[in-house]
Amino acid sequence: MAFGVTAAACSDPEPVIARLPHPSIGAATVVPGQAPIVWVSGQSAAVSMTRLTIVESAGSKAVVHRLAEGATKFFVRDADTDRFVSMPEADALLVEVGTPMCVESLLDERRMLALRVFVGAACGPRS
């Protein structure tokens, strides 16, 4: 699995910003008594069996814990269909440092628990 990176030519004054695919997300809702959904976007710093470390655009690091027994699902965009498809669990551990990630997580007090991870995607407001 390879991710392309757009490099600006040496003569360009500003680098070209890649347009990353966005996972489709529904409207935000709050359900009384349930943990809120939090979206974390940034670049991968580390992926392990128990957690994801993501560097957000402002430079802060966010640690998102993975659910046990493969309950955290990973997805990657299929270039042929332009949709997100399931990524094998073994491939999730091979995600390279610096890869864009968008993580849907539950905020349980101070701990974020990853539900779905979209590899190679950005999330947040669209520009």
Question: Domains (ranges, CATH) in the chain?
Answer: 37-119 (2.40.50.140)
* Banded model confidence at residue 75, pLDDT cuts 50, 70, 90: very high
pLDDT computed for residue 126 by the predictor: 52
123 vs 64: CA distance, rounded Å:
15
**What does each C-alpha distance from 50 to 7, 29, 75 come to in angstroms?**
33, 27, 17
pLDDT computed for residue 108 by the predictor: 86
Q: Residue 60: pLDDT above 50?
A: yes
65 vs 83: CA distance, rounded Å:
25
CB 113 within 8 A of CB 51: no
Task: List pLDDT tens digits, range 86-124.
Answer: 999 889 999 999 999 999 999 988 899 999 999 998 886
92 vs 16: CA distance, rounded Å:
27
Task: List pLDDT tens digits, range 2-54.
Answer: 444 333 344 444 444 445 555 555 555 667 777 788 899 999 999 999 999 99
CB 109 within 8 A of CB 117: no
Nearest to 6 by CA among 79, 17, 120, 101: 17
